[in-house]
A and B are shown apart, each in its own frame.
Chain A
Amino acid sequence: MERPLTITEKIILNHTDIGVVSPGDIVNARVDIALGNDITAPIAIKEFESIGVKTVFDRKKIALVPDHFVPNKDILSAKQAKMLREFAKTHDIKYYFECGEAGVEHALLPEKGIVLPGDLVIGADSHTCTYGALGAFATGVGSTDLAYTFAFGEIWLKVPESVKVVFTGKPGKWVSGKDLVLYLIGQIGVEGANYMALEFSGDTFKHLGMADRFTIANMAVEAGAKSGIFEPDEITEDYIKKRAERDYTFYKSDEGAKYAKVLNFNAEIISPQVAFPHLPENSVNISEASAKNIKIDQSVIGSCTNGRIEDLRIAARVLKGKRIAKYTRLIVIPATNEVYRMAEKEGLIDIFMDAGAVVSTPTCGPCLGGYMGILADGERAISSTNRNFKGRMGDVTSEVYLANPAVCAASAILGKIGSPEEVA
């Protein structure tokens, strides 16, 4: 009898020419979509051009998304974006997006139906693991890897072991995918899943939507994981059917598939989480964070982690009819232009502006300390983004606390870290 396989092993196997794969094997896998952005693609383009290959492996399987410093923050970043544009023109790259049609890459590609269930996706960006939410194998790589894939359509991969993470029960009010994943990272640590695939399952996900799955898969890398993945189901189908322009495959793990570990969590007892500086694993319950009376200078709602329409709706529910605290900045960044437009139509932008927020064009911006909300020395932010490393959002003495969009909105109103319940 054939060895039962995990969903991750099946997808990798189906992208190779070999008959069997086991964790630890290094394989050459065919790539369905290869992604680069305005920070990572310039190096990939230079490397690609240095090896003497004239054409890319497939112009329809490459996505170039200028999103980190776009609209260009300065001359140097404009030059980098220009490199992407020129490369896209030369090779007639199908998925190239100017800023008026783009957004943060990991929100944009699923929204446009570019990445699909069963795909093998590599991206020169660590949060490429986001697409695992759709039941794809997706992992972050470097620029040189991307250059190699541009040329050959392949990537070398070590087949990862899988860790099964099971959440059961209905999450409480204000508890979202962000809280489940911050809780998980708090439990296993920033290296807890190093080199492994995190496979998420359990009835909790019947109570949550696709946006929560994207958030969870997105932050798999913050536990060191190579990928995060969900078995696709009717929620996936509902999301994907109106977007997909090509065939896709729903893979499922076999009964008896081997896991390095199985972790079980009761979602009913998890409350909103706040991850303290300077690691995502420093997560505590909101009540504990609130009791510490931590004043904030800035709140950021956006990013590939939490900049989707569902996130903005939750933030608006908290902010409606309220004003943010004096001397506090609230920066709301819809992740894509489509999200921005929906927020506008639904009246969310008015709610944000009435509350005293500034609403930015889609960009990664402050998440990685790029622009559009950089912190001065000693300043403190709460943010719906994914990393709180030292100096991540600005000066090396500034601090970032990670939380879900509802907590970020409530904290902006309070001027200190606090729960949506405190402003209800």
Chain B
Amino acid sequence: MILKGRVFKFGDNIDTDAIIPARYLNDSNDENLKKHCMEDADPAFSSNVSKGDIIVAGNNFGCGSSREHAPRAIKASGVPAVIAKSFARIFYRNSFNIGLFILEADTNGMDNGDTLEVNTETGAIKNLTKNTLTNAKPIPGFMAELVSAGGLMEYARKRVNKGGLG
């Protein structure tokens, strides 16, 4: 899949409290959560973000709590992918499970407002604003399978339909 969008750039250690603060976790409706997405890192994010925009960050994106509300709020905001130097592991698996693309790459040189074109299969990230190319780390086999199945629940539905409940 080819994704094309504007960059919203964040720093290192963006934790899940910043992505979706706990004061909103008394609700698990993605449409409500997205109104507060990234609120404690950038209060204007939810009003500025448009469908297709891409979140770019430094190291350890998504650290902290296991709340799946974090990748869900990002996905519901219309953001199809997050690119960061590294990810915290629960955020990483949650994103694959719900079908949010996650790419590990050197994000130096990707700045706010740049337009990126991302090939999710090859991991090639073109910065159309700066005319540069960065390659993301390849997605591990099983994870790629999960994403192409449409996330873990689609994978589960296929298993149920195949009668795999042994």
Interface residues of A (CB under 8 A from B): 26, 39-40, 42-43, 46-47, 50-53, 68-69, 73-74, 76-77, 80, 123-126, 128, 140-145, 147-148, 151-152, 156, 158, 190-191, 194-195, 221, 224, 226, 279, 368-370, 387, 389-392, 396
Contact = CB atoms under 8 A, between A and B. Distances in A.
A124 B15 CA distance: 17
B123 interface: no
B40 A73 contact: no
A195 B26 contact: no
8 contacts: A46-B28, A52-B157, A52-B160, A126-B66, A145-B93, A145-B94, A224-B60, A279-B13
B68 A190 contact: no
Interface string B83-96: 00010111001100
Interface string B135-162: 0000011100000000111001101100
B110 to A, nearest CB: 20
A43 B18 contact: no
Interface of B: 13, 15, 17-18, 21-23, 25-28, 40, 59-60, 63-69, 72, 86, 88-90, 93-94, 97-98, 140-142, 151-153, 156-157, 159-160, 165
A160 B121 CA distance: 25
B26 A69 contact: yes
B17 A391 contact: yes
A157 to B, nearest CB: 9
B157 A76 contact: no
B29 to A, nearest CB: 10
B92 to A, nearest CB: 8
A227 to B, nearest CB: 10
A283 B66 CA distance: 23
B153 A156 contact: no
Given A144-B97, A368-B65, 7 more contacts: A145-B93, A190-B60, A190-B63, A369-B17, A369-B23, A390-B18, A390-B40
Nearest to B23: A369
A143 to B, nearest CB: 4
B154 to A, nearest CB: 9
A144 B26 contact: no
Contacts of B151: 144
Contact of B86 (A47, A68, A145, A191): A191
A161 to B, nearest CB: 12
Given A74-B26, A191-B60, A389-B64, A26 B142 contact: yes
A39 B60 CA distance: 23
Contacts of A152: 156, 159, 165
A224 B21 CA distance: 20
Contacts of B67: 39-40, 142
Nearest to A151: B156
Q: What 8 pairs across the A-B complex have the smallest Cβ distances?
A: A142-B94, A76-B26, A142-B68, A77-B26, A144-B97, A126-B66, A368-B22, A143-B68
Given A68-B25, A142-B66, A387 B90 contact: no
A76 B94 CA distance: 24
A85 to B, nearest CB: 15
A76 B27 CA distance: 6
A51 B153 contact: yes
B28 A148 contact: no
B39 to A, nearest CB: 8
B160 A53 contact: yes
A387 to B, nearest CB: 6
A26 B145 CA distance: 12
B26 A148 contact: no
A254 B21 CA distance: 43
Contact of A42 (B18, B28, B86, B152): B28
A191 B63 contact: yes
B25 A39 contact: yes
Contacts of B13: 190-191, 279
